[in-house]
């Protein structure tokens, strides 16, 4: 048993909780999340991939959320969690189909406008922002893709639903 688990077990016993319940809570990711990663500039910002789905018209819809996991602050230390600024370049949003070894950029309409809604700016502690983008769908034989959300590690082997 690692030192961390021993401390958690002791803490659980003090509170009258089971260690199995604490271990399960620590290992569990938020419901409905396909993959998660931390922001490269601040570990308090998390990106959760929520959906990768083929939709009509030969498109692929990808939904994700950005979550500032920092607490509201205060407590014994008196420090206040700060907002996190998130910014990126449009060319940094794409996915790769590893089966075809091909990169796909988001779709645009006939006037060149992006078909997406992606947040950039300041995210306060405890806040979350939902995002989505439409892409050309990979071939039907492609069942997993790698998603690149700017300033997060690539999300590898994310399943594509029908």
Q: Where are the domains of the chain?
A: 1-30, 31-159
> Picking from 11-20, 36-45, 97-106, 125-134, which range would have the lowest pLDDT averaged per residue?
11-20
pTM of the model: 0.77
Mean pLDDT over all residues of the chain?
83
Question: Does 20 score more than 90 pLDDT?
Answer: no
pLDDT band at 72 (very low <50, low <70, confident <90, very high): low
CATH value of 31-159 in 2.60.40, 1.20.1260, 3.40.50, 1.10.3470 = 2.60.40
pLDDT for 45 beyond 80: yes
CA distances from 87 to 104, 107, 121, 134, 151 (A): 21, 20, 6, 20, 9
Tell me what percent of the residues of the chain surpass a pLDDT of 90. Answer: 72
Q: CA dist 156 to 34, 43, 80, Å? A: 10, 19, 34
Average pLDDT of span 79-102: 93
Segment 7-19 mean pLDDT: 37
């Amino acid at each position: 048993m690692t030192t961390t688990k021993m401390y958690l077990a002791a803490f659980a016993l003090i509170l009258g909780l089971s260690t199995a319940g604490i271990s399960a809570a620590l290992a569990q990711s938020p419901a409905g999340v396909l993959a998660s990663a931390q922001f490269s500039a601040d570990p308090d910002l998390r990106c959760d991939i929520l959906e990768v789905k083929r939709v009509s018209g030969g498109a692929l819809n990808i939904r994700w959320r950005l979550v500032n996991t920092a607490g509201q602050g205060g407590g014994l230390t008196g420090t206040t969690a700060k907002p996190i600024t998130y910014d990126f370049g449009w060319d940094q949003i794409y996915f790769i189909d590893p089966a075809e070894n091909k990169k796909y950029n988001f779709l645009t309409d006939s006037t060149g406008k992006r078909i997406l809604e992606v947040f950039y700016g300041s995210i306060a502690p405890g806040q979350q922002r939902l995002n989505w983008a439409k892409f050309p769908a990979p071939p039907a034989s492609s069942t997993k893709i790698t998603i690149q959300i700017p300033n997060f590690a690539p999300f590898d082997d994310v399943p594509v639903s029908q």
